[in-house]
Chains A and B, each alone.
Chain A
Amino acid sequence: MATLEIRDLHVSVDAEGAQKEILKGVDLTVRQGETHAIMGPNGSGKSTLAYSIAGHPKYTVTSGQVLLDGEDVLSMTVDERARAGLFLAMQYPVEVPGVSVANFLRTSATAIRGEAPKLRTWVKEVNAAMTQLQMDPAFAERSVNEGFSGGEKKRHEILQLELLKPKIALLDETDSGLDVDALRVVSEGVNRVRATGEVGTLLITHYTRILKYIQPDFVHVFAAGRIVESGGAELAQVLEDEGYEKYTGIKEVA
């Protein structure tokens, strides 16, 4: 059973020449089949956690460990991490002009699966996944994320999640910027992947809204670079009612 272990993770960023510590000792274990929600106010370091696990060069891990099935993730390159089974749905997906979605998806699936998917079944697979996410087939010919609306970007991220079938999915504010319809479509996509029982999900969010569609098994409150409280789904309701003030001293709704 796939397991992601984060142990006492400390991460800094380079802020005008000086190292600024953002993550201050994160401990978390996510197992296949589980869904963990990480909830915290803006600036608490949620994206930093997601990016550090994925290996973004901007972040420096100063101490701690990240293990996937006991393997040292931190010593892997970004693409090795993805091939090992990690997937990051980004809060702000990057535009890649001139690279079509179709080409991108196939190149990526080929890399992750270790061989090029058979063309006929691949086209069917992509079309089926796009239909379920209510994406126009013409989408495949557009450049990756270029000129996409916020909702289209998030659908495109979840499309990749469905096609790449990772062991561990990190979903960074997948709900932000989505209207209710889009949120439902995107959540259903995540739920289809969860229903396979083969993915461990780390659902990062500021607001409780998405948790009405995607029920977490565990909720962790994230503040000032670490997990400050953990509980079950009921903790989300407490946050909904009381906000983050208790953890940050600043009144902010969840």
Chain B
Amino acid sequence: MSSQPEQTKGSSTAAAVSVAQPGSGAPLAGPGTGRTHSEVLASRGERPTSYDPADFAPLTGREEDWRFTPLKRLAKLHEADGDGGAPADGSDKIALHLPEGATAVLVGQDDPRVRKAGAPIDRTAALAFAAVKDVTVVTVTKEAVLTEPVRLEVNAEGGTAYAHVVFDVKPFAEAVIVLDHKGTGARSANVDLIVGDSAKVTFVSVQDWDRDAVHLAQQNILVGRDATVKSVNVTFGGDLVRITPNVRYTAPGGDAELLGLYFADDGQHLEHRLFVDHSVTNCRSHVTYKGALQGADAHTVWVGDVLIRAAAEATDTYELNRNLLLTDGARADSVPNLEIETGEIVGAGHASATGRFDDEQLFYLQARGIPEAEARRLVVRGFFADVVRQIGIPELEEQLMAKVEQELAQELDR
């Protein structure tokens, strides 16, 4: 290896960083990774994917990627039909707003766009894939610069629903895509985003569910040559939400900014598992996820797997996860994993920290006359503000900060 990759910048908890020779499966467990035991894992790149649910064994909860998730609360979304699985009986109200420059069609599973962005990485995603015969494909015309967002609003009204939507943004197009989830029920979805060469996309998925909803989603983002994508996951609602964003690059020059914020209250389980697969040269990925937790048994999980394959020279990647524990009894798991198979990179780093509410900050603000409740609000707003500010859509930024306020108001009402 001719140059040392820059590894951890400002990490306050240890995490797994492995620098492997090309081709070797890197063991990723170690002290401080958050792993409960130190099994030797295969490289993330070797984890199988498949469109066929039968290729994934029934879940036991002991699988590496399911070990944090309470399967009992999955509303059977992990069981095959006829095997105790949940039939699609949900009645979602779906509204799709298409501005000029965007169109939508329903296509069958044999349409090439349906399998372009990536295959299911786990059993639930494969079950969801199999369950959806008519896939919605939203196309943003080549070179179109949308003046308004594409909006897909899901209003679930109970029952079980499976979904598959593909956003196909053609080369040089510019689009903002907002996926908004409200209501209740159990929902398992595959969401694909194909970002054409030199296209610029901001993709926002808001999980604003009722307290009892269950939501699983695999997000596949395929980044074209010199394309720029900003993905934002905002998860506030639901009883159990588990989102698995996957990013791949088709050609050099791709840039992915992956942002997330989540806020878990009593008993909520909010999980985000990212995988960024750098397999081509000169691409960038930058991950910032921040979460706040309050109340008994609020649980969040953040896993950030980044793989820099041997071929992916000149990669620049950084990931950060921060969690703020507002009360006792909440638990945040944070597991960054960085696998590096080439030393010829621009940078690779990660930081992960989970902290309690900072009494010194509170003291400082109170010492300036600001009452405690307001001081807490300022600190939490501040905590999220630097992620929200990066979204770049002022209207949405305001809505999200208002959501944060609402969540905090709930806490203060206790």
Q: Which A residues contact B (CB, under 8 angstroms)?
A: 54-57, 77-79, 81-83, 87-88, 90, 93-99, 103-104, 107-108, 111-112, 143-144, 160, 164
Within 371-403 of B, Cβ neighbours of A (below 8 Å) are at 371-372, 374-375, 378-379, 381-386
How far is A88 from B363 in the complex, measured between Cα atoms in Å?
11
B366 touches A82 (CB 8 A): yes
Q: Does B105 lie at the interface of the complex (its beta carbon under 8 Å from any beta carbon of A)?
A: no
A57 touches B372 (CB 8 A): no
A94 touches B363 (CB 8 A): yes
B382 touches A143 (CB 8 A): yes
Which of B366, B367, B374, B385 has the largest number of chain A CB atoms within 10 A?
B367
Q: Which B residues contact A (CB, under 8 angstroms)?
A: 358-361, 363-372, 374-375, 378-379, 381-386
How far is A67 from B370 in the complex, measured between Cα atoms in Å?
21
**Contact of B363 (CB < 8 Å), options: A56, A144, A164:** A56
Known: A79-B366, A82-B366. A96 touches B372 (CB 8 A): no
How far is A143 from B385 in the complex, measured between Cα atoms in Å?
10
Q: Which residue of B lies closest to A79 (CB)?
A: B366
Least CB distance, B386 to chain A, in whole angstroms: 5
How far is A91 from B53 in the complex, measured between Cα atoms in Å?
62
B374 — which chain A residues lie within 8 A by C-beta?
A: 107, 111
**Contact of A111 (CB < 8 Å), options: B359, B370, B381, B386:** B370
A82 touches B367 (CB 8 A): yes
Known: A96-B379, A97-B382, A98-B386. A57 touches B369 (CB 8 A): no
A-B contact pairs, 30 of them (CB 8 A): A54-B363, A54-B367, A55-B366, A55-B367, A57-B359, A57-B363, A77-B372, A79-B369, A79-B370, A81-B367, A82-B367, A88-B367, A90-B364, A90-B367, A94-B360, A96-B364, A96-B378, A96-B379, A97-B383, A98-B384, A99-B381, A99-B382, A103-B378, A104-B378, A107-B374, A107-B378, A108-B369, A111-B369, A144-B364, A160-B368
Q: Which residue of B lies closest to A143 (CB)?
A: B382
Least CB distance, B176 to chain A, in whole angstroms: 24
B378 touches A99 (CB 8 A): yes
**Contact of A79 (CB < 8 Å), options: B359, B372, B381, B382:** B372
Least CB distance, B147 to chain A, in whole angstroms: 29
B367 touches A96 (CB 8 A): no
A99 — which chain B residues lie within 8 A by C-beta?
A: 378-379, 381-382, 385
Which of B361, B366, B372, B384 has the largest number of chain A CB atoms within 10 A?
B366
B381 touches A98 (CB 8 A): yes
Told that A87-B367, A98-B385 touch, could you supply 8 new A-B pairs with CB distance under 8 A? A54-B363, A55-B367, A77-B372, A94-B363, A96-B365, A96-B382, A98-B384, A111-B371
- 7 cross-chain pairs, A with B, having the tightest CB-CB distances, nearest first: A98-B382, A111-B369, A78-B366, A98-B385, A108-B368, A82-B369, A94-B364
A78 — which chain B residues lie within 8 A by C-beta?
A: 363, 366-367
Least CB distance, A78 to chain B, in whole angstroms: 4
How far is A99 from B375 in the complex, measured between Cα atoms in Å?
10
A97 — which chain B residues lie within 8 A by C-beta?
A: 382-383, 386
B366 — which chain A residues lie within 8 A by C-beta?
A: 55, 77-79, 82
Known: A96-B382, A97-B382, A98-B382. A82 touches B368 (CB 8 A): yes
Q: Which residue of A lies closest to B368 (CB)?
A: A108
B365 — which chain A residues lie within 8 A by C-beta?
A: 96, 104, 108
B381 — which chain A residues lie within 8 A by C-beta?
A: 98-99
A107 touches B370 (CB 8 A): yes
How far is A57 from B386 in the complex, measured between Cα atoms in Å?
29
